Amino acid sequence: MEPIIATQDLKKIFRVGKVEVPALRGVDLVAQEGEFLAVVGPSGCGKSTLLHVLGGLTSPTSGSVFVDGNDFSTMTDSDRTRFRRHKIGFVFQRFNLLPTLTARQNINIAQHIQGNGYNPHRFDAVVDMLGIREKLEYKPYALSGGEQQRVAIARAVICEPKILLADEPTGNLDTENSQVVLNMIRALNRSFRQTILMITHNPEAAAVADRVVRMRDGRIVSD
């Protein structure tokens, strides 16, 4: 079986004026469809950069990235954008909900952008799994942090992306809400066989994953 994610000698060097900042120094990562990976490591070791490259938000400096059979290096920017909308869901530490829209509208906007229209079955399945049905008409200011993050997860997965990329999804949550959000992510992985790559500083979060990938100084040091 072909892996859903495969990188080879992936490097990313940021240039800030004359200074070069090597964020990724040769990452080889392979993930199979349906796997749940936690990515851990000290601040600045390149975790978010890796996630952004895998999601097509940032281009690598060198090395290859294959996601779901697509070679990023041969894709144009607009191909990559289209690919991202259809195949990848993102969840960030800050919930990034649009403040003037209700929870329902925030979730639906993803389907609207993707252009596949509203799928009521998927909407119901995701909303019920995440336990946010009673909160759908609320705007973000009236939701707790955990609820906002569950809405953000709903938005990320509503279009049935094959891959969910989450950057410290529990980073702004208390222990109880973290546990709820983690259970939801785990359930998505189990029920929809969604491949998940989750960056975390939280040992409990890493413990729910199938695999823990440790990074340091732009490299994977254990897997």
| Contacts with ligand ATP, residue ranges (CB under 6 A) | 14, 16, 21, 23, 41, 43-49
35 membership: H or E segment, kind and range: none
What is the closest distance, in whole angstroms, from the C-beta atom of residue 14 to ligand ATP in the complex? Answer: 3
From Mg ion, ligand ATP, none, interface partner of 60 (C-beta below 5 to 8 A by class): none
Of 34 and 171, nearer to ligand ATP (C-beta) is 171
From Mg ion, ligand ATP, none, interface partner of 43 (C-beta below 5 to 8 A by class): ligand ATP
Q: Is the dihedral of CA 189, 32, 67, 217 positive or negative?
A: positive
Residue 17 is given by DSSP the state T
What angle (nearest 5°) sits at the alpha carbon of residue 117, between those of residues 113 and 118?
A: 115
From Mg ion, ligand ATP, none, interface partner of 56 (C-beta below 5 to 8 A by class): none
Residue 131 is given by DSSP the state T
Of 50 and 181, nearer to Mg ion (C-beta) is 50
Residue 89 is given by DSSP the state E
What is the closest distance, in whole angstroms, from the C-beta atom of residue 119 to Mg ion in the complex? Answer: 32
User: Using CA atoms, how far apart are residues 179 and 2, in angstroms rounded to an integer?
Assistant: 32
CA distances (Å), origin 119, targets 41, 107, 123 = 38, 12, 6
Q: Does the footprint of Mg ion cover residue 48 (CB under 5 A)? A: yes
What is the closest distance, in whole angstroms, from the C-beta atom of residue 43 to ligand ATP in the complex? Answer: 3
Contact region for Mg ion (CB under 5 A) — 20-28, 45-53, 122-130, 141-149? 45-53
Q: Give me the residues that bind Mg ion (CB under 5 A), please.
A: 48
